[in-house]
Structure 1
Amino acid sequence: MVSLKKRTQAPNPNSLKPESRKRPKSKQEELEDYDDVCCEKCGSDQYPAELLLCDKCDRGFHIFCIRPILVAVPKGPWFCPYCANHNQVRGFPLVQTKILDFFRVQRSSQRTQSLNCYKKRKRTSGLVMLKKSRKLLPFNPSEDPVKRLEQMASLATALTVTGTEFSSELTFVPGMAQRSANRAVLERDGMQVLSKEDVETLTLCKNMMERGEWPPLMVVFDPREGFTVEADRYIRDLTIITEYVGDVDYLKNRQHDGGDSIMTLLTASNPLKSLVICPDKRSNIARFINGINNHTPGGKKKQNVKCLRFDVHGECRVLLIASRDIKKGERLYYDYNGSENEYPTEHFV
């Protein structure tokens, strides 16, 4: 992908005289036109493939020099920080009715019967037994309803700013992969089947969210990392953080996609049947939990979430699960390229 490019409206070739028509420039010639462009931040003209030109002012910026950092050359028009006018992120109104409508929350103040069942089970199950059997735990919502509204509003803000529609499920849209393509049996080396009890726990988490009992997570904006997620209360090891959702597409259709949030869903023996999750149009809080390059100094130490794929009733699903106890205020990170290295991660924070 050529990043040094000036997007201008070309004249109608039919309106030009034959002698005035020019041969279209090659990509190499386009790059040579901008040989003197330097990054406004570091002053260097090195790494031209990662040097962006603003579509408004023509100033250059390395994708790893701008803030927030970009991990790949974006698709479509791009505007530098001086032209984007992103001075301050405007928060979503902290109005209960607007927030409940945004997330399509069921209007009920009562906790579900399944949540009460979980509380009884929790009192009769010791921590040692949970660790030994590696049973997953449901998230523990904040007791204060105002705090839960603040958490939901923070996610609504991030989704609104990025132009993303909220979704809590994998979505299958025309022109992309069909639901019938999502078959765990196609996984190249086999896929771990989520146990019946863990499926019940995952269902419990979804039911709680539908009733406004939100995970204790806050989406915040960081000048370096962009939108990122912090724990708003203590989260125990093995707690289900969220499911990774979005539009499902074939990997072959996304080989040159510049999105930095694409997630592997199915690695099939036949590469043409491999699937990915694309959260750029529809997603949930998983899109804003930062992947981290685990092969850089300090990467493993910062990681506190595992990204795992499971067979759930014959379909592939991706879960983000706490890999250790997480303190309140701690930012969430998971290893984005732990086993497959299919996407650019060298500039991850």
Structure 2
Amino acid sequence: MAPKTPFRRRTQAPSRRQSPRAGAGEDDPIEAIHCEQCGSGDSAAELLLCDRCNCGFHLFCLRPILVCVPKGLWFCPSCSTHTKPKQFPLIQTKIVDFFRIQRNHGDEKAGCRKRKKRTGALLAAKKKRKLLPFNPSDDPNRRLEQMASLATALTATGAVFSNELTYFSGMAPRSSNCAALEQGGMQVLSKEDAETLNLCKRMMERGECPPLLVVYDSLEGFTVEADRFIKDLTIITEYVGDVDFLNNREHDEGDSMMTLLSAKDPSKSLVICPDKRSNIARFINGINNHTPDGKKKQNLKCVRFDVDGECRVLLIAIRDISKGERLYYDYNGSEQEYPTQHFV
């Protein structure tokens, strides 16, 4: 039987139904180790020992949750001296280079005028449209702060910025991204909505980023919040990264893999791996869909579309979002394959 697709695999957190570690005898020295947070010694494979104080912590009890046992030395929150990531310098030239923003100011001004005119047409036709482009902050300095917050998160996680799906030798070729292979068929993005998506891409290339801030939270790690009001049905961002075959990533410990293509033939299924190249989508967190409070936080939906014959993944607002509100979506969608009960 083919393995189930790990639709939203962010941690190795076990299900509540998981039984205690079998075969551990009373005199087993590992049995004496327990988690400082929950007090349990179960799930020994997910117990970390601090290299300074020797206290134990479950991967899924830590805040933020860890996806796997770290390589090299690891220090618990009490012993760690690194509580916040180093901030990316708020220098325009560095930000322009980091995001590879177009430098031709004349074209940029012309593009801005064109965008404003086009946006008005889109809003006027709202009744017959499904998706809306994001509305960048008006203040250029505020946009620099937004981009600097994303650059901080990407730098801290060892990734570089990319706003496109990327294909590399040894992984899945672009020719494998064929929406016709989707089991049960895939929703086709309309021509008008595809134009809206392309408009969002062009705005980002000019440095007109989505009105979002990446912030660091001691409980959730990097997370994303709205920096201005966002209207329902707005395209927030596209989920991007390196494209690979699911079969190549079944034992991958990446914390943010996303399904791109779920094919009838499992060998043709694809996932997006944003650990090396990614955008702000990587830092948008998931809800705890086991609790009513967790479900109430959801304000985005992850949707896979057929765009000109290729699979693409979009994060879209499902209601009006207030400034300062954090963004969340359900990793599982309708599959309910991912245990999210440990999420904050």
Deviation at 1:79, TM superposition (A): 1.2
Deviation at 1:66, TM superposition (A): 1.5
CA contact (8 A) 1:185 1:314 kept: yes
The separation in 2 between residues aligned to 1:328 and 1:256, in whole angstroms, is 38
Query: Percent of counterpart pairs with the same letter?
Result: 66
Partner amino acid, structure 2, of 1:347: H
Q: Secondary structure at the match of 1:298?
A: helix
- 1:266 maps to which of 261, 264, 276: 261
CA contact (8 A) 2:87 2:149 kept: yes
The separation in 1 between residues aligned to 2:90 and 2:144, in whole angstroms, is 7
Aligned pairs for 1:24-173 (under 5 A) are 32-54=28-50, 58-70=54-66, 72-74=67-69, 76-77=71-72, 79-81=74-76, 82=78, 84-109=80-105, 111=108, 113=110, 115-124=112-121, 130=126, 132-173=127-168
Of structures 1 and 2, the one with the larger relative CO (CA 8 A, separation 6+) is 2
The separation in 1 between residues aligned to 2:119 and 2:278, in whole angstroms, is 30
The separation in 2 between residues aligned to 1:99 and 1:43, in whole angstroms, is 45
Q: Secondary structure at the match of 2:315?
A: strand
Deviation at 1:298, TM superposition (A): 1.8
The separation in 2 between residues aligned to 1:133 and 1:78, in whole angstroms, is 56
Partner amino acid, structure 1, of 2:44: P
CA contact (8 A) 1:289 1:332 kept: yes
Deviation at 1:126, TM superposition (A): 5.8
Q: Secondary structure at the match of 2:31?
A: coil
CA contact (8 A) 2:257 2:272 kept: yes
Partner amino acid, structure 2, of 1:275: L
Deviation at 1:244, TM superposition (A): 0.3
Which deviates more from structure 2 when the two are superposed, residues 170-179 or residues 264-273? 170-179
Q: Per the alignment, do residues 347 and 312 of structure 1 end up closer, same or farther by CA in structure 2, a change over 3 Å counting?
A: same
CA contact (8 A) 2:133 2:196 kept: yes
- 1:312 maps to which of 275, 291, 307: 307
> Number of paired residues?
323
Aligned to 1:235: 230
Q: Secondary structure at the match of 1:175?
A: coil
Deviation at 1:74, TM superposition (A): 4.1
Aligned to 1:213: 208
Aligned to 2:249: 254
Q: Per the alignment, do residues 296 and 50 of structure 1 end up closer, same or farther by CA in structure 2, a change over 3 Å counting?
A: farther
Which deviates more from structure 2 when the two are superposed, residues 107-116 or residues 268-277? 107-116
Partner amino acid, structure 2, of 1:120: K
Larger of the two Rg values belongs to structure: 1
Normalising to structure 1: TM-score of the pair?
0.84
Q: Per the alignment, do residues 243 and 32 of structure 1 end up closer, same or farther by CA in structure 2, a change over 3 Å counting?
A: farther
- 1:286 maps to which of 267, 281, 289: 281
- Residues 164-187 of structure 1, C-alpha deviations (whole Å, 9 max, x = no match): 111111111222111111110000
Aligned to 1:17: none
The separation in 2 between residues aligned to 1:80 and 1:182, in whole angstroms, is 41
Partner amino acid, structure 2, of 1:36: A
- Residues 15-51 of structure 1, C-alpha deviations (whole Å, 9 max, x = no match): xxxxxxxxxxxx9789944121111333332332432
Q: Secondary structure at the match of 1:347?
A: coil
Deviation at 1:256, TM superposition (A): 2.5
The separation in 2 between residues aligned to 1:134 and 1:312, in whole angstroms, is 16
Aligned pairs for 1:184-199 (under 5 A) are 184-199=179-194
Partner amino acid, structure 1, of 2:325: E
The separation in 1 between residues aligned to 2:249 and 2:338, in whole angstroms, is 11
- Residues 99-137 of structure 1, C-alpha deviations (whole Å, 9 max, x = no match): 11011111144546565445335445667x62x434211
Q: Secondary structure at the match of 1:177?
A: coil
Deviation at 1:87, TM superposition (A): 2.8
Normalising to structure 2: TM-score of the pair?
0.86
CA contact (8 A) 2:48 2:69 kept: no
CA contact (8 A) 2:129 2:192 kept: no
CA contact (8 A) 1:115 1:204 kept: no
The separation in 1 between residues aligned to 2:12 and 2:189, in whole angstroms, is 42
Q: Secondary structure at the match of 1:97?
A: helix
The separation in 2 between residues aligned to 1:172 and 1:342, in whole angstroms, is 27
Q: Which runs of 5+ in 1 are unaligned?
A: 4-26
- Residues 43-96 of structure 1, C-alpha deviations (whole Å, 9 max, x = no match): 3323324322345654310123222123x4346446133555323322110000
The separation in 1 between residues aligned to 2:308 and 2:122, in whole angstroms, is 26
